[in-house]
Amino acid sequence: MSLSKKQKALLKQIEEITINAAGILTLEKVEETSKLFVKDLRPGRGLIGTKEEEETFGARKIPSAKLPTEQSSSQVAHNDGEEDEDAVSDIDNVEQGHRPYKPNRPPSSVESEGEEIEEEEEETARFDDKHVLVNGIVFGLWDYLGFGYMDHIMELYGVEPIQQPPNMNIVLHDYQRKIVAQTLFSLNSPFRGFMNGSAMGLGKTIEAIVTMYHMKDEPGMSYVVCPAALCPQWVKAINSSWKEGHGLTAFHLHDSSLTAHDVQGMGCHVLVMSYNFVETNKRKPKNFAGDIALYANDGKATRPKRPTTSIQSDMWHEINLQPKLLVLDEAQMVNKPALAWARALMALKAKRVLVMSGTLPHNRWTDIFGYLNFLKGHPFNTQREFLRVFGLPGERNTSARKLACLSRFMQAFTIVHPSSILNLPPMSSFRISFNLHPQEAVAVKEFVFEYKKCAIGKPDVVIDGGDKEQGLGLFTYAIQAQVKAGHPMMGEYLAERWQRLHHLESLHFKVFSGEELDDQKPEERKDWLKRVKRRPNIVKESGRLSKLMELYRHLTITYPERKMVMFSCFLKFLDVVEEGLLRDYKIQPLRYDGTTPTDQRPKIEEAYGESKSNVPLLMTAGSSSIGLNITSASIVIMCEPWWNRNLEKQAIARVYRQGQQKNVLLYRFFGLNSEIDQEVLSVAEAKVAVNEDLMKVLITKHNEQPKFDDILTTPPVPHVEFPETAPIRK
C-alpha cells in the first residue's frame, strides 16, 4: 500500500527525531528535588518526619475515649489493635491549630443567589465529619469546641444573677434571676440568641418579659410571636407585671390594615402576634406582584392596592429600627426551616432571637437545626452541614460521640432547668392494662401487619415520620390501626371516608405535630355526632372505653375530692367518651379541643376550676400542649400511647407545674393484645433514649456548674480564639 505525500512527510519527521541524553532526569535528581519538596512539611499526612518529630507525633495519640452513653452492640466498633476508623487523629489538630481563628461573620443581609448557595454546599460536602468551615477556613471540630468554646460556656454559667426589678408585682425566683442574666449575656454574644428549654411550668414567660424590660431603653420594639391562643395571655402578663407606669406596654397586633408606621407611632414596647399573622404579612407583597400582573393583562380585573405590612418596613432597616428582640414562644412549632412560618420569621431580620420551648428536641434530635437557623455566629448554616458533622453518613441517625459534640455545641447558648427545681409534689405513674375485644384485636393486627411490611428497610421513616413519598403509605396503616384500637365505630366511619380523603399527604406529619388527627368539615362532624348518639351499646363494644369507664368510677369513689383530665390524640374518641359518661353516669364533661373557639377557651378553663370534682375535662393532644394552666386537677389519664413523648410531656405539664399543691396521679392506658399500642411505645422510647442523651448535660439547676462530657479522642491543641460577630448597632 502506497503512502500519501502527507504521511511520507510525517514519517520523515519521526525518523529525524534525536534524543538529548543530557535532558533525561536521573534518579539522583528526583531524590534531591523530593527532599526539597517535603523539607518544610509536618509529619502525619502520609509523610515521614525526622526521628524527633515522629516521636513527638506518636506520643500524642491516645486510645479512643469512652462516652458514658451506652451503645447498642451494633454500634460498637470491634477491632484488634487497629486504630478505630471513627477516632480522631491528632493530625487534624496539629495542622489546623496553628492557623489564626478568624471570627465568624454575621450573615449578609443580601440573600445569595441559588447558584452560589449550591456551590457552597458542594464545597463543604468535600470535608469529612471531623471538620467545620468558618469564614472559608477549615478547622478541626475539636478545635472549634475546645478550650475557647469551653471558656465561653463557663462565662455563661458564671454570670451574676440580675437584681429584682423595681416596682414589679411578681417576686422572681433565684433561678429566674439567674437565667435572665444568662439570656442577656447570650443575646449579646456572637450567637445573638439564646435557647430557654426549661421544663413547662417554670415561668419562661415572665423570664422573657424581664429580659425585654432590660432592653427597654434601646431603640426599637421587641416582638413576641406565639400560637394565636396565647396572644391574649402574653399581653395580659406583660401589662400586669409592673405597677402602672413602671414596666412595659404590650399590644396584640392582629389587624393587617395597620401600617408599620402606624404601629411604630403607638409607642408600645412589645408587639404580640401569632405565627400565622407574621406569615400572612410576609405573603402580602409577594401576592401583589401577581395581582398587578393580572390587572395589567386584563382590564376587567380590579386594580390592586399597594400592600402595606404591619411588622416591618424598609425604612426601619435604614434607620436601624428592626426588632431588637424576637421572642419565639412554643418554638417547636417553627423548628422546620422549610415551613412558611419559619421563613417569615427569618425575613424579620431581628437583631436577637430568644427561643423558648419546654421540649427542644420536640420529636427528634434533628429538630435542633431548626432553632440554629435563627441564631448567628456558628458554622452550621445549612441542614446538610449540620447533618454532615452531627449525623452518620447517608442517614438521619447519630452516634454517641457525635451526640456529645452536639450537646457541647448547644451548651454555649442553651439553658434547661428541670421541673425538680421547684420541689413540686411527687407524681405517681400507673399503667392501666386491658384487652381489646377479640374482633378489635384482629382488625388492629391486620393493619399493623401492613404497617410493618411498609417499614421494612425504612427505620428513619418509623422513627421520624420520613418524607411524603416514603411515610405516607406506612402511616396510613398505622393510623387506621390506632383508630380501630380506639372504638369500632371510629374504624367503620374512617373506612367509609377513606376513599374521599384528600388530606392524606399531611396525615402522617400530624401524628408527630400534635394537630387534630381526624379533623372534619362541619357537615361531616354533625353527621358523626348523630351517629354517636344513635349507637347502641357504645361502651360495651369497645375494650378501651369499657376499661376507661371502670377507671372513672374507681377514681371518683377513691378520690372524691380530686379533679381529673382525660387526654387523647383523637377527637372522635373523646366524643364516644363523652357519650359514655352521659349514659353510664349522667355526667356532662367539659371539652377543650380543636373545635373549641379561641374566645371560649378561657371561659372553659374558668368553668373547670369552678366545676364539681366528678366532672372531667376532655382534651386533645394539640389543644392541650400549649398555654394552659389547670393545676386544679391532680389526676391525668392518657387514653392511648402517643407517638411523640415530648408532646405527651407538654400535655401532662398543664397539670404538673408551678402552683400544683397535690401529688399527681398519672394513668396510662395500654392494650395487652393491641399490637399498635406496642409499636407506638417502641417507636416513642427509641426517640426518647436519643433525646435524653442529647439533653443530659444541658439540664442543670441555676446553682450548678456546667457538665462537660469528654468528646475528644485526643488532647486539643493550644487555646484558640472564640469566634466573634460584628457588634449590634444601637
Amino acid 282: pLDDT: 82
Nine-digit cell string for 600: 371560649
pLDDT grade, residue 483 (50/70/90)? very high
Asked whether this chain's domains 162-378 and 422-695 adopt the same fold, the reply is yes
Q: 631 in helix, strand or coil?
A: coil
Query: Nearest 5°: CA angle at 18, between 14 and 21?
Result: 145
* Phi, psi dihedral angles at 665 (to 5 degrees): -105, 120
Amino acid 123: pLDDT: 43
pLDDT grade, residue 688 (50/70/90)? confident
133 pLDDT above the threshold of 60: yes
* Mean per-residue pLDDT, 701-726: 63
**CATH code reported for the domain at 162-378:** 3.40.50.10810
Contact (CB, 8 A) for 460 and 516: no
Amino acid 68: pLDDT: 34
* Mean per-residue pLDDT, 439-445: 94
Question: What is the dihedral angle through the alpha carbons of 393, 397, 400, 406, rounded to the nearest 10 degrees?
Answer: 90
573-596: per-residue pLDDT in tens? 999 999 999 999 999 999 998 788
pLDDT grade, residue 54 (50/70/90)? low
Task: Compute the distance between CA of residue 455 and CA of residue 464 in angstroms, rounded to an integer.
Answer: 12
Amino acid 25: pLDDT: 60
Amino acid 69: pLDDT: 36
Amino acid 30: pLDDT: 62
* Mean per-residue pLDDT, 98-102: 32
> Which range among 51-65, 133-147, 260-274, 443-457 shows the weakest confidence by mean pLDDT?
51-65
- The residue written with cell numbers 447519630 in the block is 398
> Which range among 256-265, 287-296, 463-472, 559-568 shows the weakest confidence by mean pLDDT?
463-472
Amino acid 237: pLDDT: 94
Task: Round the average pLDDT of the chain to a whole number and report it.
Answer: 78
DSSP, residue by residue, 401-459: HHHHHHHHHHHTTEEB--GGGG-PPPEEEEEEEE---HHHHHHHHHHHHHHHHHHTT-H
695 pLDDT above the threshold of 80: yes
**DSSP 8-state assignment for residue 138:** E
Domain ranges of the chain: 162-378, 422-695
Task: Compute the distance between CA of residue 254 and CA of residue 521 in angstroms, rounded to an integer.
Answer: 26
Burial class (CB in 10 A: 0-12, 13-18, 19+), 341: middle
pLDDT grade, residue 292 (50/70/90)? low
Amino acid 75: pLDDT: 37
> Which range among 110-114, 213-217, 240-244, 690-694 shows the weakest confidence by mean pLDDT?
110-114
Burial class (CB in 10 A: 0-12, 13-18, 19+), 115: exposed
Burial class (CB in 10 A: 0-12, 13-18, 19+), 666: middle
517 pLDDT above the threshold of 70: no
Nine-digit cell string for 441: 384485636
343: left (phi over 0), alpha (psi -120 to 50) or beta: alpha
pLDDT grade, residue 147 (50/70/90)? confident
- The residue written with cell numbers 377513606 in the block is 498
407 pLDDT above the threshold of 60: yes
654 pLDDT above the threshold of 50: yes
CA dihedral (557, 559, 564, 569) positive or negative: negative
**DSSP 8-state assignment for residue 283:** H
Architecture, CATH, for domain 422-695: 3-Layer(aba) Sandwich (3.40)
Amino acid 247: pLDDT: 92
User: If we measure between CA atoms, which residue out of 573, 538, 581, 545 comes closest to residue 434?
Assistant: 545
Task: Compute the distance between CA of residue 65 and CA of residue 404 in angstroms, rounded to an integer.
Answer: 12
Q: 595 in helix, strand or coil?
A: coil
Amino acid 420: pLDDT: 86
Q: Which stretch of DSSP H or E encloses residue 637? A: strand 635-638
Task: Compute the distance between CA of residue 460 and CA of residue 38 in angstroms, rounded to an integer.
Answer: 47
* Mean per-residue pLDDT, 214-232: 92
76 pLDDT above the threshold of 70: no
Q: Which stretch of DSSP H or E encloses residue 522? A: helix 522-534
Nine-digit cell string for 410: 448547644
370-404: per-residue pLDDT in tens? 999 999 989 998 888 899 889 887 667 888 888 88
Task: Compute the distance between CA of residue 450 and CA of residue 584 in angstroms, rounded to an integer.
Answer: 37
